[in-house]
Amino acid sequence: MSTKAAAWLLLVTNLPGRNPTLRMRVWRALKAAGGGLLRDGVYVLPNSASARRVFQEQGAEIREGGGLVHILTFDADSEEQNATLAALFDRTTEYREAVSSLEALKREIPRVREAEARQRLSAVSREVSAILARDFFPGKSRGQIEGALADAEEALNARFAPDEPHAAHRRIPRRVRKDFRARTWATREHLWVDRVACAWLIRRFIDPQAKFLWLKRIKDCPKRAVGFDFDGAEFSHVDAKVTFEVLVASFELEQDSGLTQLGALVHHLDTGGIPIAEGAGFAAVMTGARLLYKDDDDLLKAMTPVLDSLYAAYSVPHES
């Protein structure tokens, strides 16, 4: 007897006609979850624990509203039918629309302010994150949108942060934390995601007594200061790693899952790539904080509880 799980999950519903509000609410929830519509009241998803939870949650609402629900599993009768079902989840058009929005933003970057540009990039990133969450059969379009996001981030940084460091190609040496206690750390002023996250990481995990210098000009960095996130700094981008990830690797903090996930978030916002669900929200908070706090010490103080909260959330094991 085979124990292989069926490939597909089916939700069959019969909603009371007198409750259009419930009908619309269920439809929106299932659409947001990526459910494919076979016919009115019949939805399909690739079989998984998360898909079953979605169908069960919506089924419970339907039953409370007086409707009928059946949740079934099945395999396609043929490869052709399987392909037809998979086609219900083709996100190419959605990705294409997101790419068009990014191309429009890149054209308009010279004419808009930084806050507006970053807010627009965050909005598209949120849309892409939502598409990725319901892209059950990723293809070439996924790689294209990741590249388009990275290109837009690069164009935005070239306009508003021209001193962003270039990645070095070298081995990341291991460092001992006791050699970096009560030091002065220096980076470029007007903090953005990587630098503010690095400063938080330094104080939280490496040098609790750290003092920071925010440099108007990189060449003004004192010789005894520990530089980070600029070309020629002791800690900066290496190959595919942003400075936050380099610090994590340098001080052997990779086993901390909270820092690893936070590093992925910083990487996405600093250089693009695979969107992280919380990325757009964090970028929006960071943008607002930069408007409120012109002094970088105040900005770091304001962003510290945000980073503390993200780290705490990332450190909690989650069910797949």
Q: Is residue 296 part of a domain?
A: yes
Task: Tell me which residue range forms the domain holding 63.
Answer: 8-87
**In the prediction, which pLDDT does 153 show?**
84
Residue 1: the pLDDT is 38
Q: Are residues 193 and 156 in the same domain?
A: no
Q: Quick check: is 166 in a domain?
A: no
Q: Are both 79 and 99 inside the same structural domain?
A: no
Kindly report the pTM of this predicted structure: 0.70
Q: In the predicted model, is pLDDT for residue 160 greater than 50?
A: yes
Distances (CA, A) of 183 to 65, 179, 188, 197, 272: 63, 9, 17, 18, 31
Same domain assignment for residues 234 and 306: yes
Mean pLDDT confidence for 77-84: 92
Q: Which residues contact 25 (CB under 8 A, 6 or more apart)?
A: 61
The dihedrals phi and psi of 14, each to the nearest 5 degrees, come to -135, 100
Q: Residue 271 domain-assigned?
A: yes
Average pLDDT over residues 221-239: 95
Whether 165 maps to a domain, the answer reads no
Instruction: Count structural domains, the chain.
Output: 3
Instruction: Tell me, yes or no, whether 140 and 187 share the same domain.
Output: no
* 8-14 β-sheet, strand order: 36-39, 42-46, 8-14, 68-74
307 in the same domain as 188? yes
Nearest alpha-carbon partner for 310 in 288, 271, 279: 279
Q: Does 320 reside within a domain? A: no
Q: Which residues pair with 14 in a beta bridge?
A: 68
Residues 205 and 294 in one domain: yes
Residue after which a domain boundary falls, among 160, 189, 220:
160
Same domain, 142 and 27: no
Find the mean pLDDT for residues 111-122: 88
